[in-house]
Amino acid sequence: MPPRIAIVSDIHHGAPSHTKRGDAALDLMEEFTRFVADARPDLVLDLGDRISDIDRDTDLRLQAEVAEAFRAIDVPVHHICGNHDRDHLSVADNSDILGQPLGNETLDLGDWRIALWRADAKICRDEARRGFNLPEPDLLWLSAMAQATDRPTLVVSHVPLSGHAQTGNYYFERNPQYSTYPQAARSRAALAQARQPVVCLAGHVHWNTVTPVDGITHLTQQSLTESFTTGGEPAGAFGLMELTDTVHWRVLGDDPFELRLTPRATRWTPPMDPFT
């Protein structure tokens, strides 16, 4: 059987917020646990935003409840912090609750490398510099990883790097600056150094998307509890990805999606100059 990864993103456990049905999160995590038991993947990826933040004390409690839900899963689980995990809590707080380090790392799965790019996802609330800001050490790690990889690589993050259009997105059509890092172009340039096929997988934007940029395919997975695409009911999105020469990605739930692609190391011809 080819390497298989189960994926859950943007759980948003807590009170309902905007279109996020956080009140359904723990019940849906029980469904995800049963899904993992049936699918028997090699590992589970949690793409972050486990909670909808309130304040430090509440967030500590909510994170602990989600961590307890993950303990029912009997395959390795790898977590990433999202912006809501970081509003009132540090990376160290999340690490203590989840019981694992939360720094950037790689692991090999069959013929693939999984790059867990846990770049800081805290949103700055300062009026002078509002939004995400990518720390230089995280960018340098991504660049070094891309240069060193010797096999097809799946780059996993919370915040997507494609810079894809947010037209129609409930949260980000009118707030596109919060949908990616302001340094996303530099991140894509870092990935372009890879001599192997690269596929990127992220959460954060609460919908299923596919965006090829410079020969690298960027994917985002729907939130477990989002409802703006599903008529007010939580999407209940679970992902399953098989990695061979072809990437087969399926998202189950009420917002289903399926994709097969054969990633290549070829980079595109740079865009031409303006017609004028």
Residue with tokens 């990695």: 243
Instruction: Please tell me the pTM assigned to this model.
Output: 0.97
How many CB atoms are closer than 10 A to CB 259?
14
CA distance 144 to 89: 28
Answer whether residue 276 is part of any domain. Answer: no
**pLDDT the model gives residue 125:** 79
CATH of the domain at 79: 3.60.21.10
Instruction: Give the tens place of pLDDT for each residue, 191-215.
Output: 999 999 999 999 999 999 999 999 9
Domain-located, residue 267 = no
Domain that holds residue 214: 4-261
Percent of the chain with pLDDT over 70: 99
User: Is 166 a domain residue?
Assistant: yes
Q: Look up residue 274 and give its DSSP letter.
A: P
Average pLDDT of the segment spanning 101-125: 96
Residue 204 within any structural domain of the chain: yes
Which two three-digit tokens encode residue 194? 């890879």
pLDDT (tens digit per residue) in 211-250: 999 999 999 999 999 999 999 999 999 999 999 999 999 9
pLDDT averaged over the chain? Answer: 97
Q: Which strands form 4-8's sheet, in the order they lie side by side? A: 77-79, 43-46, 4-8, 238-243, 247-252, 257-261
Provide the pLDDT for residue 211: 98
Which residue in 237, 161, 255 sits closest to 199, CA to CA?
Answer: 161
The least confident of 45-59, 127-141, 143-157, 169-183 is 127-141
**In the chain, how many domains are there?**
1
The confidence score (pLDDT) of residue 124 equals 86
The mean pLDDT of 168-190, rounded to a whole number, is: 97
